Structure 1
Amino acid sequence: MSRIEYSAEIAELLGKVRRRPTAGWPWRPGERVPAGLPVKQSWGWLFAPDGRVLTLVNPRDGIVSLPGGSLEPEDGGDPGSALAREAAEEAQASIGTPYYLGYLYDRVGSANNGHECARVRMAAVLRAVGPSAPDPASGRHYRRLLVAPGLAVELLGWGAPGLRQARAAVATAVRWLGVPAAANEEIEELPVAGCEVFPGADATPTGASAVRPAGD
């Protein structure tokens, strides 16, 4: 087994990681959201060329997340547009065209005023990140790490269901995005000043649906 490489600064950050309790939402891989079930959130597995994915760490509370969030009126009901917007706001990231992976069924409806809803998961290339800045919606200033998908699951605290989700994301990324099945294991923090990550990848369309089903 190869040794995971990371800096002393990253070690200090990871020592503060705190995991949220798992919600237990059933994962529906590859299934379309049923008619009548509202999509309230969209989150993304954003891949670098070496198979690592972007994770966000809030240094104040140690919570780790994938980029994403709630659909807003300007997204026009499109989870791909919501992901592109949230990635830009939270991580100052530009992404390629998102591929639909499936959804989590939130029977309690904590994101929908107590009514059942869907939380979509997608995969896309991470094209670049701009200079680090606070999320304008929340004021959170995230640290941006590239990590292997399996380690992302561990940091997120998602357990076996999260691992199944990560495997679906990797399978889609290998097939459609050209990344390797075995990701680089190094933990790397992206520069505060920003950088290119996956140059040459297709940009997310503007004013059109960004959803491209993984099985098509």
Structure 2
Amino acid sequence: MNRIEFSAEIADLLGRVRRRPIAGWPWRPGEEVPEGLPVKQSWGWLFAPDGRVLTLVNPRDGIVSLPGGSLEAEDLGDPGAALAREAVEEAQAVIGHPFYLGYLYDRIGSANGGHECARVRMAAPLYRVGPSVPDPASGRHYRRLLVAPGLAVELLGWGEQGVRQARAAVEAAALRLGVPTAANETIEELPLAGCTVFPS
């Protein structure tokens, strides 16, 4: 097994990671969202060429997330448009065309005023990130890490549902983007000044 490489600063950051409780939303891989079930959120597995994905760490509370969030009126009901917008707002990330992976069924509807809804998962190439700035919607200033998808599941605290979701993302990205199914294991923080990740 290869040693996972990371800096002392990243070790300190990851030492403060706090995982959210597992929500238990059933994962529906490859299934279209049923008509009448509103899509309220879209989150993305954003891939670098070496198979790693972008994760965001809020250094204030240690919460790790994938880029994404709630659909807004300007997204016109398109989860791909919502993901692209949220990636820019949260991570200053420019992505390629997102492709659909499936959805999580939220019967309690915590993102929909107590009514059932869908939380879509997508994947896309991560082309580049700009200079790091706070999210204009929340004021959060995320640290941007590239990590292997399996480690992302651990940091997110998503359990077995997350493992299944990551597998679907990796399989789709290998097929569509040509990324390796065995990702680089190095944990890397993207530069504050920004950089190119996936040559377009």
TM exceeds 0.5? yes
Q: Give the drift of 1:80.
A: 0.1
Take 2:148 and 2:81, find their aligned partners in 1: how far apart are those partners? 25
Paired residue secondary structure (2:165) = helix
CA RMSD of aligned residues (A): 0.3
Match of 1:85 in 2: 85
Partner of 1:148: 148
How do residues 66-77 of structure 1 correspond to structure 2 at under 5 angstroms?
66-77=66-77
The 5-angstrom pairing of residues 1-216 of structure 1 reads 1-200=1-200
The number of equivalent residue pairs is 200
| Structure 2 unaligned blocks of 5 or more | none
Structure 1 counterpart of 2:21, one-letter code = P
Secondary structure of 2:127's match? strand
Residue by residue over 1:120-149, the C-alpha shift from the partner in whole angstroms, topping out at 9 and shown as x without a partner, is 000000000000000000000000000000
- Distance in 2 (alpha carbons) for counterparts of 1:90 and 1:8: 25
Report the TM-score when normalising by structure 1.
Answer: 0.92
Give, in whole Å, the separation in 2 of the partners of 1:139 and 1:16: 20
TM-score, scaled relative to structure 2: 1.00
| Stretches of 4+ aligned residues off by more than 6 angstroms | none
Q: Deviations over 1:44-77 (max 9, x none)?
A: 0000000000000000000000000000000000
- Matches of 1:16 and 1:120 in 2, distance apart? 28
| Cα distance in 2 between the residues matched to 1:109 and 1:181 | 34
**Structure 1 residue 199: Cα displacement:** 1.3
How many Å separate the matches in 1 of 2:151 and 2:99?
22
**Identical residues among aligned pairs (%):** 83
SS of equivalent to 1:123: strand
Structure 1 residue ranges without an equivalent (≥5):
201-216
